[in-house]
Amino acid sequence: MSAEQKESSDKQGRPFLGVHFANCGVYGRLYRSVKGDFYVGNCPRCGHPLRVDIDNARGVKQRFFIARCP
């Protein structure tokens, strides 16, 4: 199995957040970490990294967000 196939199969069924990277005008996904304590990903256009910590005490049920790249 190639690295690309493994990455694809690892992400199937994994929880994610949808993000509109407003400055770049594209949508992307942040996938939950293996430990389940944050979501992480990059803007598909400029590569800007984004990390969202999971706070179970003050969390929201929202699954889609807007982010701005620098």
Question: Coil, helix or strand for 29?
Answer: strand
What confidence tens digit (pLDDT) does each residue in 8-26 have? 445 568 899 999 999 999 9
Host domain of residue 58: 15-67
- Residue with the bigger pLDDT between 3 and 36: it is 36
What confidence tens digit (pLDDT) does each residue in 20-58 have? 999 999 999 999 999 999 999 999 999 999 999 998 788
Residue 2 inside a domain? The answer is no
The dihedrals phi and psi of 4, each to the nearest 5 degrees, come to: -65, -40
Q: According to the model, what pLDDT value does residue 58 have?
A: 80
Total domains in the chain come to 1
Q: Is the pTM of this model over 0.85?
A: no
Question: Coil, helix or strand for 10?
Answer: helix
Question: Coil, helix or strand for 43?
Answer: coil
Kindly indicate the confidence band of residue 60, based on its pLDDT and cuts at 50, 70 and 90.
confident
